[in-house]
Amino acid sequence: MLVVDEEQIPLPSHLPDWDYRTDIRLRRTVQVDVGALRTGAGLPPDAPIALAVVWTATGSGLRSSPCRIPIKAADTESVHLDVRIAGADLGGLLILETVAVLDDRMPAAAPISPRRAGSVLWRERCELRLQGDAPQFPLAIVDFGRTSFPNDAGWHLQISPNLSAATMGAMLLLINERNQAAMSAFKNAAKPRAVDKAVLSTIYMDVARTMVEHALRSEEFSETADYEDETLGATLTALVDQLFPGISIGDLRLRMENAPAHFASEIQAAVKVFGDD
């Protein structure tokens, strides 16, 4: 359970709007069958066991254990874990592990039974995303049924009119969880099937088109505009340059306005839709 404002909620997969001033407070109750743990690992009945929570934060690169509780019971014990993790130590993905470990060195009973202190007897892992996992393109899977987007849409590119905003915060490709084809394509993106490739290529092309047209429709988008690195303006400039090298923005605008259908095909060609990847 995640504790937000003294209220307990089941651990979500991500915590929106986290910043490092937000400490993370977590509670859970674990039923530990110590007897079974010992027997299962081939340990003697007096083997000391401790339960601990260990977190790792990918953003700060830190790991720590805020809570370790030696278990005294011989058979089953109910352990309440209540930890508070300083937000200042965190970032990225917070990986939380609840582990039961051998709490001291044991002379080996059997060749395969644990003897080193800290040997894991049981572990359970969960994750809480606090910040992006450094995606190169900001993506999110969302159930469109819970948004204002049409339920049956496949994707939506959110893009800010503010070209001076940082790209990572100003653009977001939302994939509709309800759309099977789009979902599978994104899920399988590492090893896409033929159909996934086609879907990905289509979405890629559409995103490129949306970005290019968004840029061209923006009055402030021009060759002379000087955008800071990593801003949306810089990203769009780079993209337009990459897709239409050597063609002026004014020219592109005219093409988009006068022959929108042809322009759409030009974008398809530029991104090599359904081409090799």
Partner 1 sequence: MTPGWLSQTFPPDGASAAEGIRNQLGRPELDLLTILVREAAQNSWDARVRGRRRPVAFRIEFGSVSAAHLGAWRELLLQNAPLDHQLPLRGALRRSDIRLLSVSDRGTTGLGGPTRADVAQGANHDFVSFVRNIGEPRDTELGGGTYGFGKGIFYLVSKAGAVLLHTRCATDEGLQTRLIGCALWKSYVGQEDAEERRYTGRHWWGEAIDGIVEPLIGDAADQAAQRLGLQPFEADETGTTVVVIDPMLDDMEPTQAAEYVAESIAWQLWPKTIATEERPQGMQFAVRCDGREVPVPDPETTRPLDLFVAAYRELAAGEGKRLECRSPRKYLGRLGLAKRVGLPVPASMASLTAGIEDLVHHVCLMRPAELVVSYFRGPKPPSELQSYAGVFRADTGMDEIYARAEPPTHDSWNPHSLQLPESTFVRTTFRRITEALEGLLELGGTARGGGSTISLGAASGRFASLVAGADGLGGASDFKPRPGAASGGRAPGAGGGVGGSIDRGGRDGSRLNRGRIEYVGDPYLDSRDGATVVVQDFRLPDVGDHEVHVDAGVLTGPGTRETEPPIGAAVPTFVAWEGDQGRVVEDRVLRITGGDGTTWRVIVRPAADTVTELDVTVRSAPGQS
Partner 2 sequence: MHELYRTLEIAELGRRAGMTHDSSIFAAVGGDRAGIDDLAALRLAVVDLATGYGFPAESSRDARRDFDLRVAETLHSGMHMVPAEAAAGDVWAFLALVLLPDVAYWRYPRPPGDRVLATDITRHVFGRLWWRAHLVYSGGEVNPYGALGILGEAAFDQIYARRKALGASPHLVKAILRTWADLDLGDLDEREVLRGFLQRLLRLSPFVVFDALDAETLDAELRVVVLETVDAVRADRPASGRIG
- Which residues in 89-118 contact partner 2 (CB under 8 A)? 89-91, 97, 99, 101, 103-105, 114, 116-118
- Tokens describing residue 148: 């204002």
**Partner from partner 2, partner 1, none contacting 141, C-beta within 5 to 8 A by type:** partner 1
- Among residues 238 and 269, whose Cβ is nearest to partner 2? 238
- Note whether 261 binds partner 1 by CB under 8 A: no
The candidate with the shortest Cα–Cα distance to 28, out of 119, 121, 125, 120, is: 125
Three-state SS for 214? helix
Rounded to a whole number of angstroms, the minimum distance from the CB of residue 258 to partner 1 is 25
Backbone phi and psi for residue 6, each to the nearest 5 degrees, phi listed first = 65, 15
The residue within the footprint of partner 1, chosen from 26, 41, 216, 270 (CB under 8 A), is 41
Interaction partner, residue 36 (partner 2, partner 1, none; CB < 5-8 Å by kind): none
Phi first, then psi, for residue 119 (nearest 5°) are: -60, 135
Question: Within 13 Å and on the Cβ side, how many CA atoms surround 50?
Answer: 15
Residue 162 makes contact with partner 2 by CB under 8 A = no
142 binds, among partner 1, partner 2, none (CB under 5 to 8 A by kind): partner 1
Among the listed residues 27, 68, 178, 197, the single contact to partner 2 using CB under 8 A: 68
Neighbouring residues of 89: CB distance < 8 A, sequence distance ≥ 6: 57, 60, 62, 64
Q: Point out which span in 52-60, 73-81, 137-145, 209-217 binds partner 2 (CB under 8 A).
A: 52-60
Q: Check binding of 228 to partner 1 (CB under 8 A).
A: no
Q: How many CB atoms lie within 10 A of CB 210?
A: 18
What contacts 153, CB < 8 A, 6 or more positions away?
144, 176, 179
Selected range binding partner 1 among 72-80, 81-89, 187-195, 251-259, rule: CB under 8 A:
187-195
Regarding 120 and contact with partner 2 (CB under 8 A), the answer is yes
N- to C-terminal Cα separation, the chain: 43
Among 47, 85, 94, 208, binds partner 1 (CB under 8 A): 208
Partner that binds at residue 205, options partner 1, partner 2, none, CB closer than 5 to 8 Å by kind: none
Contact 27, 81 (CB under 8 A): yes
How many residues does the structure list for the chain? Answer: 277
Residue 234 touches which of partner 2, partner 1, none (Cβ within 5-8 Å per kind):
partner 1
Positive or negative: CA dihedral 92, 95, 96, 100: negative
Question: Interface residues with partner 2 (CB under 8 A)?
Answer: 19-21, 50, 52, 54, 56, 59-65, 68, 86-91, 97, 99, 101, 103-105, 114, 116-120, 123, 131, 228-229
